[in-house]
Chains A and B, each alone.
Chain A
Amino acid sequence: MSVHPTSPEFKSNAHGALHSPSLQKAMGNVEKGFIEKRRIAAEALPEFEALRDSARDIKNHTLAHLDLYLEAFEKRVLEAGGHVHWAADAAEANAIILDICQKAGARTVTKGKSMISEEIGLNAHLEANGIKPIETDLGEYIIQLRGEAPSHIIAPAIHVNKEEVEADFRRVHTHLDAKRDLTAPTSLLAEARGELRARFLAADVGITGANFLVAETGTSIIVTNEGNGDLTQILPKTHVVVASIEKITPTLNDVAQILRVLGRSATGQEMSVYTTLSTGPKRAGDLDGPENYHVVLLDNGRSAMLGTEFEDMLRCIRCGACMNHCPVYHAIGGHAYGWVYPGPMGAVLTPSLIGVDQGGHLPNASTFCGRCESVCPMRIPLPKMMRHWREREFERHLTARTTRWALRAWAFAATHPKLYGLGTRIATRALSFLGRKKGRFTSLPLAGGWTTWRDMPAPEGSTFRTEWKKRGRK
């Protein structure tokens, strides 16, 4: 079962977000933290811009030969003693993973942070079948306790304040001393670590996502900061990697290049604390590692994006820089977007994966300020692709009728200069006459969207072109 979208209710979601003091407080931290760190990291690396070009080119090449690299990857995984499963959609992926877990006799599974597992709704599917999934990334652990979805692709609990985490821990960790002091963030961290340690050791299966799948070697790579991913994939007897097909990268060299922009773009780190490579199960003589190694390759709409105007989106490496720099995301947070992926990358990807009739608000809720594209390490033209979605909506008559009507009327006038000149002269004179005393309007018919929040400045007088002609100019 994949996640039920509330994207069609985007406007009311946003309304709620704008009126939530705790969310607004938490979002202030996004603006302060990520942006400055990324800027410093990018400026400190002279070849950063060149690396962005290179990263883009690597992924473009990969996408042009995706079938080839996927097959090569599968071959290498098999050679290393692992298993590869192909899943066309969320239901297939869930069924495959459940089957692996059941065959392993699993009661609990630990999980590293994986947006793909969010996309397919894996936790709900496992729980419905009597298997307990335990999120081990601190942010994911927190939102699992809260019964929430991530609100950010790399900082899933960014919408939660420290005080709320404390309350959640007290609510759930009832076996601990009620009088313990949890005011310091480190005490919260220590408590989560203590809770998770036993779970790591008890888990029957560990499930992780992948930041990269390397065709050359059959390796899956995760990039983390907490070390939880390593414990998830090394301690249990079975390790399942669930990843979407565009995570394929040809060689370790290619990965090394993209890694140099990933950490810097995401958190401003030169490298994440852990970059963990895993190739097949434990080999003879290995001290650690899983006995069984499975990779579940998910399509879920990606292959349908190839060859379309949305193909560039498949370059995305999920760094989160676009949302970190997005004024709309800053205003409303990630949950308002109503599905798995928020911010600009979500605004492009969500309609591709759940349909533009469901996700149609998302690519429209952008000012096209372009800040996302200016920081995207993979140089994905996000505003351009949001515009493509608007074009599709317009073609399919999904655009609101009043908007369509107004656009057509404006376009008709704009292509008939005499009519346009007359219309603008009349409108300008009327508005300037009505607004002559105050110089602005506090309300205007048909402009409630504007005047509810701000005044509308009145025109100075007649139009520029009227005045220009009065002065006998051409």
Chain B
Amino acid sequence: MTKKPRVGLFVTCLVDMFRPTVGFSAVKLLEDAGCDVFVPDNQTCCGQPAYNNGDKADARRIAEQVIATFEEFDFVVIPSGSCGGMVKTHYADLFEGDAGWSIRAEKLSAKTFELVSFLVDVLGVKAVIAAFEGAITYHDSCSGLRELGIKSQPRKLLESVDGLTISEMKDSDVCCGFGGTFCVKYDEISNKIVSKKTANIRASGAGTLVAGDMGCLLNMAGKLKREGSDIEVRHVAEILAGLATGPAIGEKR
């Protein structure tokens, strides 16, 4: 048997702070798939807030920190399409004209993956051993969908969960209105967009909303709760790892 791949888990700031269960789910899924998982203590943020707000210098400093922290691993896995997209598709931009850092950035980008696409596309995982009773609906988060091509992978693994059915919502591939700082800078527009999203989620008839990005999940969970909906909101990793047993996002403990 070949040596186990050494995977550095970049949990992301939002998972770290808001939803540790997602981190533990990612670890379980990766270990079940035969990886050695490491959580380097020096990890912080991917730099996306700075990058998307035009603060390229700070984004670059943060990216240097991420590269230095994670470049020792065979793979870097992130339970987020948005942060994954940042490292995989945008880091190279930050180091234009700096050959040394460009090479380090490109090497890191090449071995960085979003969690579910890593399981399916790289490790060839076809099914998970987990159970979840009921219908879920899956929201395709924008960066994962359009920057990383994540659409079939989560559905494929979700379908293998015992007792789970997928009830697709209308416009599952349309933005939820989060957009990082957009949701507070243009809060009224963001609210309009997320209101359309929650209407589609409700109309799907599913009891649980699932997605792969904490930002979108916090946004949609927050709106559903404000609307008084009892639809539960969970990260896809929790369901796939069979750890969707505690309170859902925004539910009381």
Q: List residues of chain A with CB under 8 Å of any chain B CB.
A: 11, 14-15, 18, 327-328, 330-332, 364-371, 373-374, 387, 389-395, 399, 403-404, 407-408, 410-411, 413-415, 417, 420-421, 424, 427-428, 431, 436-440, 442, 447, 449-450, 452-465, 467-469, 473-474
Contacts and interface: CB of A to CB of B under 8 A. Distances in A.
Main secondary structure of the interface of A (DSSP, over half): helix
B250 A369 contact: no
Given A369-B146, A387-B54, A327 B177 contact: yes
Contacts of A399: 53-54
Contacts, number: 227
Nearest to A400: B185
B193 to A, nearest CB: 5
Contacts of B22: 464
A410 B247 CA distance: 29
Interface string B239-253: 000000011011111
Given A327-B174, A387-B52, A408-B58, A454 B189 contact: no
Nearest to B222: A454
Given A14-B189, A439-B247, A455 B18 contact: no
B58 A460 contact: no
B55 A411 contact: yes
B187 A465 contact: no
Interface stretch (B36-44, B114-122, B161-169, B203-211): B36-44
Shortest 9 CB-CB contacts between residues of A and residues of B: A367-B179, A449-B184, A390-B54, A394-B54, A454-B222, A457-B250, A411-B58, A369-B175, A464-B20
A456 to B, nearest CB: 6
Interface string B182-209: 1111111111111010000000000000
Interface of B: 11, 13, 15-24, 38-39, 41-45, 47, 49-56, 58-59, 61-62, 64-65, 69, 142-143, 146-147, 173-175, 177-194, 196, 218-219, 221-223, 225-226, 246-247, 249-253
A467 B249 CA distance: 18
B19 A473 contact: no
* Centre residue among B53, B179, B226 by max chain A CB count within 10 A: B53
B182 A473 contact: no
A410 B222 contact: no
5 contacts: A365-B185, A368-B179, A449-B185, A459-B18, A464-B39
Contacts of A456: 218, 222
B20 A467 contact: yes
Nearest to A398: B54
A455 B226 contact: yes
Contacts of A428: 16-18
Contact of B226 (A368, A370, A453, A473): A453
A146 to B, nearest CB: 24
Contact of B39 (A327, A436, A460, A474): A474
B162 to A, nearest CB: 25
Given A327-B174, A414-B62, A438-B252, A460 B189 contact: no
B17 A365 contact: no
Contacts of B20: 460-464, 467
B18 A474 contact: no
Nearest to B22: A464
A453 B187 contact: yes
A454 B18 contact: no
B62 A390 contact: no
